[in-house]
Amino acid sequence: MNSPRTGGSLRDLRQSNAIRVLDLIANQGPMHRAEMARRANISRTTITTITRDLVERGVLAEQPDRANGKEIDGRAGEQLAFSPKAGWIAGISQILDRICVRITDLMGQEVSSTDGPVGATDGWRVRAEAAVDLLDSALRKGGGDRGDLLGVGIGLPGQINPVDGIVHGALADQPWNGINARAEMNRRLGIPVFIENNVRLETIAEAKWGAAQGIQDLMYVNMSSGIAAGFLFGSELFRGALGGAGELGHVSIDVNGPACRCGNRGCLVLFAGAPAILRRLEATLGPSATMSEVLAASASGDRASQNVLAEAGSMVGRLLASMCNLLNPQRIVVGGQTSLAGPVILDPIRDNITRFALTPSASLDVVASALGGGPEAGAAGGAALALSKLTTSPQMLSRLLDYTRATAS
Ligand SMILES: [Zn+2]
């Protein structure tokens, strides 16, 4: 009965079941064996065999179930999680003038993070080298090197074509336009690289670690210099055919309005983006005021700043009301520097949705980002993106097994 063919297929089955176990933990977090068996539709005996092997290899480790308190009957009270020694993942997010790096273990616990400035007019090569330097410095800070990394998720401005990996800018002058960022960063780093638009990464981070945990249908909006969105439908990031879904700032709200850099007229960003807010406050705060100063003025009760921010919120809210009628999300999370104004901007967004959206969406949650909603959130999202690829990227999976084998020996 034990022909090589049967033995081979049994091994394949065990291996594919092991991958399902890893996939569950990567995407759902720590889990009891019984729940694992139920979710993966695998017998308890098989789960016990697979998890024992993965614990012995140093890939998984048992941890007390903190959510449910005390142990039930010894081992049954333990959850299985990735071992803190199973390697690290990294996230990098690049915005116009700053790059943020975050290194975590496979459970999302931060190992180290860092950030640094880039020039707003720096090209992609300068940005690529700066990202590599910051990553290496964060690794040193965490007491490791690139050998400890299983993969890295990188966020960039622009639309990343999911088929050819080429970055296409919504605007003609974005630094990575026309470049295969995945290939370029992979060549420089020598580890598996995954590229995504930076606002889409913030969306992933909010769903995994932030203000949208457990939310399956999410609209995330970043309000800063630009205005952009990310969508989760059925817990999956929606990219669109060419990676262009979410360019909210370039929806025209006034066809006779001023010309935009994108070639359109009256785009939302021209009225509610940070440069527009600053311009409208020039008379009261001066021509060189920054967004941080506007936020501070608003927080200390400056009515002019509060009114301009509230009007920006109203304009975004009116457009989101239409988006809600089209897409009916469960929750809207607002991030980006402008969102740090808090209720001054969130209340008008919520009020306009209540007023203009149809009944099913009129009472949905509108909440602030729990992760700051800037490039720090994008870097966390980069790590989450890399983690989500752990079992589907053969390179990451083999790095995981090689790494734990080397650490165990
Ligand atoms: Zn535009």
Q: Residue 196: which domain range?
A: 88-203+396-408
Asked which of 82, 108, 138 is the last residue of a domain, the reply is: 82
228 three-state secondary structure: strand
Q: So what's the pLDDT on residue 6? A: 41
DSSP letter string over 135-155?
Answer: HHHHHHHTT--GGGEEEEEEE
Does any domain span residue 377?
no
237-261 pLDDT per residue, tens? 999 988 889 999 999 999 999 999 9
- Ligand 1 center–CA 336 separation, angstroms: 18
Model pLDDT, residue 4: 40
201 C-alpha vs ligand 1 centroid, how far in Å?
A: 22
Asked if 262 and 340 sit in the same domain, the reply is yes
Q: Taking the complete model, does pTM exceed 0.75, yes or no?
A: yes
Ligand 1 centre to CA of 303 (Å) is: 29
Indicate whether 351 belongs to any domain.
Answer: yes
In a domain, residue 378? The reply is no
Q: Are 105 and 22 within one domain?
A: no
Q: How far is the CA of 59 from the centre of ligand 1 (A)?
A: 47
Neighbours of 217 (CB within 10 A): 17
| CATH number of 351's domain | 3.30.420.40
For the beta carbon of residue 148, count every other beta carbon within 10 angstroms: 21
Is the domain of 273 the same as that of 340?
A: yes
Kindly state the helix (H) or strand (E) to which residue 222 belongs, with its residue range. Answer: strand 218-223
CA of 267 to the centre of ligand 1 (A): 5
Q: Could you tell me if 116 and 190 lie in one domain? A: yes
Are both 182 and 243 inside the same structural domain? Answer: no
Name the more confident of 59 and 164.
Answer: 59
Q: What spacing in Å lies between the alpha carbon of 216 and ligand 1's midpoint?
A: 29
Q: Rounded to whole angstroms, how far apart are CA atoms 217 and 235? A: 6
304-359 confidence digits (pLDDT tens)? 999 999 999 999 999 999 999 999 999 999 999 999 999 999 999 999 999 999 98
Query: Is 225 a member of any domain?
Result: yes
Q: Which of 41, 66, 82 is the last residue of a domain?
A: 82
The pLDDT > 70 percentage for the chain reads 93
Flag whether pLDDT at 13 surpasses 70: no
Residue 229 CA: distances (Å) to CA of 107, 233, 393: 27, 13, 27
What was the pLDDT predicted at 319? 97
Residue type, 308: V
Residue, of 404 and 222, whose pLDDT is higher: 222
CB atoms within 10 A of CB 340: 22
What CA–CA distance (Å, rounded) separates 169 from 173?
Answer: 8
In this structure, the dihedral spanned by the alpha carbons of residues 344, 345, 346 and 348, taken in order and rounded to 10 degrees, is: 90
> Is 375 within the bounds of a domain?
no
387, part of any domain: no
Question: What are the tokens at 277?
Answer: 């807010």
Query: Does a structural domain hold residue 195?
Result: yes
Residue 36 has a pLDDT of 94
**Number of compact structural domains in the chain:** 3
Q: Given pLDDT bands bounded at 50, 70 and 90, which one contains residue 298?
A: very high
Q: How far apart are the CA of 276 and the centre of ligand 1, in A?
A: 13
Statement to judge: residues 145 and 270 lie in one domain: no
C-alpha 270 to ligand 1 mean position (Å): 8
Residues 173-187 pLDDT 10s: 788 999 999 999 999
Q: Looking at the structure, tell me whether residues 198 and 230 fall in a common domain.
A: no
CA of residue 254 to ligand 1 center, whole Å: 11
What does the pLDDT average to over 49-65? 91
**Whole-angstrom Cα Rg for the chain:** 23
